[in-house]
Amino acid sequence: MNASEHTPLYVQIADDLRTKIQQGELRGGDRVPSENEICDQWPVSKITARKALTTLRSEGLIEGVRGKGTFVRRKTPRVRLAPQRWFRQAQTDSRPTHEREAERAGEDSLASRRSHEVQAVFEVAERLHIETGDPVSETHYLIAMDGEQVSMSVSWEPLALTAGTAIASPTEGPHASLGVIGRFDKIGIRIDEVEEALDCRMPTPDEARALHMPTAGTPVVAIEQTWRAQGLPVCTANVVFPADRYEFRYRMEIK
C-alpha cells in the first residue's frame, strides 16, 4: 500500500482483499480481517478500515455475521431457472417449484401461507382486468430454505373464475399443494403465458424484517408476475427475494 498514491487508502485495502477473493486466496466462508486487524496490518485508522469493508460489503463480496465477524460470501446453491420452472411437470412431481429448487440445492424448504377473500384494489384490478372492488383471493407466502428466509410474496386470483371450484382457496382443498399452473389445470383453465417484470431495489422496512435481512445495503429482487390463459389474466403476484440468497438464471430458446 502506498500512502503517496492518489488512490485513497481504503480503496487500496479493498482492492487487495478483493484480489485475494477473486484469486481464491480467500474463499466462500473464510473470515476476512476485522477493522482492528486491518489497522494492525495496514497503518490506517478505524474509519479507513471500516470504509474498506463497507466497499466490499456493498459489492456483495463479504457479509457480516453478528457476534462472529465478517466472512467471504458463499455462492448460493439456490437457482431460479426460467422459463423451465414454469414447464408442466409430470404427474409424478406435482410439488411447488420452490420445493424442487430446494431439493436441487440440497436443502429443506418450509412454506408459511395464508389466504383470505378481499376486494381488489386498483392496481390489482388493473393487472387482472377486473373492476376495483371485485372479490379476489389474496394469498401471502413466506418461504424458507435450510432455516433461512428466501422469499415472500402475495398473489391474487379473481373469484369470478375460481369461486365454487376445488381451487377457490389457494391454501386449502385437494389441489392446494400444486402451483398456479397445476391448480388451474384442474378446473380446465390452461395457463399458457406468464409475464415477469423484475425490479432491483432496496427492501422496505417490513420486507427487511420479514426476510430477516439485518445487513444494511443488501438489495432485493422484486418480481411482478401475471399468469394468463389465452390472454386472460388469471393470477397476479408480487414476489420479493433477498438478492444474495438466490441466483436468477434465464435460458431462452432462440427462434
The tens digit of pLDDT for each residue in 85-136 reads: 888 764 445 677 888 888 888 889 999 999 999 999 999 999 999 999 999 9
**Are residues 125 and 131 in contact, defined by beta-carbon separation less than 8 angstroms?**
yes
CA-based max dimension of the chain: 76
Quick one: pLDDT at residue 92? 47
C-alpha to C-alpha distance for 247 and 249, rounded to whole angstroms: 6
Using the structure block, give the residue that is written with the C-alpha cell 462472529.
Answer: 68
Kindly report the number of other CB atoms within 10 A of residue 38's CB atom.
22
pTM: 0.78
The strand ranges marked E within the chain are 62-65, 69-72, 79-82, 109-119, 135-145, 148-158, 193-201, 220-229, 232-242, 247-250
Report whether pLDDT(5) > 80. no
Instruction: State phi, psi for 74 to the nearest 5 degrees.
Output: -75, 145
